[in-house]
Structures are given as structure tokens and as C-alpha cells.
Amino acid sequence: MTSTLSPNLARLLEVADRATTDAPVTVTGPLRVGVDLGTAYTVIFVVDESGLPVAGAYRFADVVRDGVVLDYAGAVDLVRRLKSQIEQRIGRGLTTAAVTIPPGVPVSEVRSHGYVVEAAGLECTAIVDEPTAANAVLQVADGAVVDVGGGTTGIAVLRDGEVVATADDPTGGTHLTLVVAGAHGISFEEAELLKRDQRNHARLFPVVRPVLEKIGTLVADRIRGYDVEQIYLVGGTSAFTGIADVVASVTGVPAVVPGAPLFVTPVGVALHDTGGDAG
């Protein structure tokens, strides 16, 4: 479906998409940093004092699953390397960051996300659930923000700009990859590469549609009883062509995918960093 998001938001996400190149960036003034520890991708974004993305870096890695840090040392090393990559681009050090968690994870896992950030050399200033982080960018007053990640689908219902309900369900991009691997008789790694290439989406769609419908059913269950007029889909899995139409069909509620959906949440969590590193 065609996005009804504001021109300012469209510009911000276009800037975010460009910010992940390797080109050097000259920045001045305070910076805020966001770390998104996902099941499939770990992403770091830096925004300036106006909230505009200035640099980002991301990498596919299996160090976190469904909000649980499985490989602590690997997660720390990954965040440290992405941090260093950005620091080299902007020519200055980063000292603070906010980090994401899926809604409803155990307290011990909330802490572990913060510990990863701290061990990578960043003071953790905030720990924010993924849909709430995403809404710092989307600025949804009334509706539902759905973060479809690699392992889970996080859902937040908003009324008058306030989160009134959150949930997290164990279905996401990994499940699409498993279905593709089974249907084509290939390894998980091969299926993941196949799924990530947008040129393959049309032929893969019939295979993954049941998983997309399940995601739609999960969303429908979580928003039942609330007056939701629009669903906003973010997270890496939301980049799969056709997901918005499937979710809209299952829920009966219009659904949109903003540009660069993988970057919405990490940019949003950067806006929660209260450190304001002045360089």
C-alpha cells in the first residue's frame, strides 16, 4: 500500500538510508547513538542534535535470538566493531548510547542488552522497547507500530501518542527463511541470501505467504479491542515485498511500510540517548 507518512519522515528515512555508506562525514555538535540488537541484524545509528541521522552501520549476525543474547562475547565484539566503523567515518569517538529490547523480555535479558553496550565502550543511557523506539521516528498518535524483526514481532498500540498496550510474539524473518530453505531444499544461509534479495520476492511470495499471514493474525489478535486506524510496519522483515497488503488483508486495517524499515527502530532509539556526546 502507498505510505501516508509525512514528507519530513520520508526525507529522514531517505537520509538514514544514505547514512550507511562508507563515506567520511563531518559532524559538529552533540550526537546521540542508538544500538538495535536484533535476531538477524545488529544496527547502530548516530543522529545529530536536530535528530537527523548522520551515520549508521549494520551487520547480519546470529548473536541474539528473540531478545536473548546467545553469544555475549560475539555481541560485544560486533557492537565494538560497528562503533569503530562509525567513529572512523565521523572522525570522533562515541561515548553513550541507548539500546533496544523486544517488548516483554525478562528483566535479566533487559540488563544483558545494556551490559553488551557497556562492554563495547558505551555508557548505556536508556533501554527502550522496539516499537516505542520506532515511534520516536514515526510519531504515530493513534495506531499500531509493528516491528517485524528476525525472531519476533513486537507490537505497540498507541492512543494520543501514548503506548497503551505492547506484546511480542515469536514469529519473524527467521521463519520466512526456514520456509524458503525447506521449499527449495537449500541451507538456511542460502535461503537467507535468497530472501534478502528483493528481486526474488515475487517468486518467493507464494512460499512465504502463510508466514506473513501468521504475522497478520498475531497483529490482529493484539490490536483486538482497540480502535486502530492504521498499522505501521518496521523492522528488516517489513522490507519483504507484499507484507503490508497481507497484514492489511488479515487485520482489516490499512498497513504501510515506511522507507528503509530496517533503520526506523535504530534511529528511534538513538533519539532516546540522553548522553548528547559533544565530541
Q: What's the mean pLDDT in 252-265? A: 90
Task: Assess if residue 257 is contained within a domain.
Answer: yes
Which set of grid coordinates corresponds to residue 86?
562509525
118 — pLDDT class (breaks 50, 70, 90)? very high
Largest CA distance in the chain: 52
In a domain, 2, yes or no: no
Cβ 253 vs Cβ 278: under 8 Å: no
Closest CA to 252 of 216, 277, 209, 212: 216
pLDDT at site 7? 56
Q: Contact 239/38 with Cβ under 8 angstroms?
A: no
The residue-averaged pLDDT of 128-149 equals 90
Three-class secondary structure assignment of 83-110: HHHHHHHHCCCCCEEEEEECCCCCHHHH
| Position 279 in a domain | no
Calculate mean pLDDT across residues 22-46: 88
Question: Distance (Å, rounded) from C-alpha 118 to C-alpha 125?
Answer: 10
Q: Between these two residues, 14 and 52, which has the higher pLDDT value?
A: 52
CA distance 31 to 54: 9
Q: CA–CA separation, 171 vs 214, rounded Å?
A: 8
Start-to-end CA distance of the chain, whole Å, equals: 42
The residue that leads in pLDDT, 111 or 176, is 176
DSSP helix/strand/coil, 94: coil
pLDDT for the residue 2: 38
Model confidence over 36-90: pLDDT tens digits?
988 788 999 999 988 888 899 998 887 887 678 888 999 999 999 999 999 999 9
73 and 156 inside one domain: no
pLDDT confidence bin for 109, thresholds 50/70/90 = confident
Angle at 136 between CA 133 and CA 137, to 5 degrees: 105
Residue 96 belongs to what domain range? 7-131+263-270
**Is the per-residue pLDDT at 152 higher than 50?**
yes
- Residue 66 and residue 87 share a domain: yes
Residue 9 pLDDT greater than 80, yes or no: no
pLDDT at position 41, please?
85
Q: Are 251 and 243 in contact (CB under 8 A)?
A: no
pLDDT of residue 3: 43
Let me know whether 56 and 175 are in one domain: no
Kindly report the CATH number assigned to the domain that includes residue 49.
3.30.420.40
Q: Which pLDDT tens digit goes with each residue over 154-192?
A: 899 999 988 899 888 888 999 999 999 999 999 999 999
Residues in the chain: 279
Within 8 A by CB and 6+ apart from 225, the residues are none
Residue (of 135, 131, 161, 157) closest to 67 by Cα position: 131
